[in-house]
Amino acid sequence: MNLISSDDLTKADIKRLFTIGSKLSSQRSELSLRSNTTVALLFTEPSTRTRVSFEVAVAQLGGMPIYIDAKTTQLSRGEQVGDTAKMLSMYCDFIAIRTYDHETVVQMGENSTIPVINALTSLEHPTQALADIYTIYQKKGDLKGLKIAFIGDIAQNTCNSLMLSAAKLGAEFSLVGPKGWRPKSQYYNKAREYGRVYVSESIEDGLEDADVVYTDTFVSMGFEGEAEERRKLFLPYQLNQKAMSYAKRDAIAMHPLPAHRGEEIASDVLDGKQSAAWDQAKNKLVMEKAILLYLSEVEENK
Ligand code: CP
Ligand code: NVA
């Protein structure tokens, strides 16, 4: 089993991940991976949280992480992704990969005999979405019936994965962005098969009575060339106190980090009482451990 798209997980898989996560969150957890489990972390793009939390997750579960900067591998000299997948499958037990091109991760999954975990592509960030929905679950309980609003760039990786996972668990998902800026149709259409998912350009309507308000950078990895236009286009959709005032009084504000204070989010929201961003970051470690343990369970029961 791979975790390449958030859609790879059924509702039952997510529930199981939450159960493992709850065990891990309790101090006395003694869960571990089979000894000597080796996890290749192959990254072509920068990362602070995902890289470090994965390395720590594997080490704390008794395994061995190997961080691989793709620039230092033969991939940078043209070796095919499929051949690389075959090699890593001979030496390791898991591959976690971060790279811009989603298709590369799909190819890695097709050519690998060990589980492949997407650690971010330009289209998805499924491990982040799991940390996010687990954070929502801890703070608000069952996601069924909650209203989650995503404001800003509604056509990017974090939004795509969160939309799928949240809709699958029965949350209402409100996408709020500038006129004419549409979500990625394959993700939007799929999420609409699972639940109530809709787009609005009005911040007031889109955030009205939301339990959760989520934002992410205006300039995702790979879009640096459009930075100036994007900042101009999305700035009216900044998550600030005014925007938060349309949501429920006890709503939480979420951001996967890294944040750009004064762009997609105001400092007083990110650092304020309603912010869940630091819990999300903490829960990356929990959910990455849960993913490794769950995928090991699945492999063992094959
Ligand atoms: N949220 C997240 O994925 O952060 P990094 O880019 O630092 O890994
Ligand atoms: N959407 C952001 C997520 C970073 C964790 C990006 O792709 O840069």
Closest alpha carbon to 136 in 241, 280, 287: 280
Whether 65 lines ligand 2, by a CB cut-off of 6 Å, is no
Q: Does domain 6-125+281-300 have CATH number 3.40.50.1580?
A: no
Q: How far is the CA of 50 from the centre of ligand 1 (A)?
A: 5
Residue nearest to atom 7 of ligand 2 (CA): 220
pLDDT in tens, the chain (302 residues): 999 999 999 999 999 999 999 999 886 778 999 999 999 999 999 999 999 999 999 999 999 999 999 999 999 999 999 999 999 999 999 999 999 999 999 999 999 999 999 999 999 999 999 999 999 999 999 999 999 999 999 999 999 999 999 999 999 999 999 999 999 999 999 999 999 999 999 999 999 999 999 999 999 999 999 999 999 999 999 999 999 999 999 999 999 999 999 999 999 999 999 999 999 999 999 999 999 999 999 999 98
Q: How far is the CA of 253 from the centre of ligand 2 (A)?
A: 17
Q: Does domain 128-280 have CATH number 3.40.50.1370?
A: yes
Least distant ligand from the CA of 227: 2
pTM over 0.95, yes/no: yes
135: left (phi over 0), alpha (psi -120 to 50) or beta: alpha
Q: How far is the CA of 117 from the centre of ligand 2 (A)?
A: 16
> How many angstroms from the chain centroid is the CA of residue 36?
27
Whether 156 lines ligand 2, by a CB cut-off of 6 Å, is yes
CA angle (62 as vertex; 61, 63 as ends), nearest 5: 100
Least distant ligand from the CA of 124: 2
Residue nearest to atom 1 of ligand 2 (CA): 220
Identify which of 42, 50, 134, 255 to mutate to test ligand 1's pocket (most ligand atoms within 8 A of the CB): 50
- pLDDT score at 26: 81
Identify which of 41, 42, 44, 49 to mutate to test ligand 1's pocket (most ligand atoms within 8 A of the CB): 49
From-to residues of CATH 3.40.50.1370 in the chain = 6-125+281-300, 128-280
Other Cβ atoms within 10 Å of 205 Cβ, number? 13
* Site residues for ligand 1, CB cut-off 6 Å: 47-51, 120, 128, 256-258
Sheet containing 197-200: order of strands = 197-200, 172-176, 147-151, 212-214, 252-254
- The atom of ligand 1 lying closest to the CA of 257 is 1
Identify which of 98, 118, 121, 217 to mutate to test ligand 2's pocket (most ligand atoms within 8 A of the CB): 217
* Residue 68, strand partner residues: 42
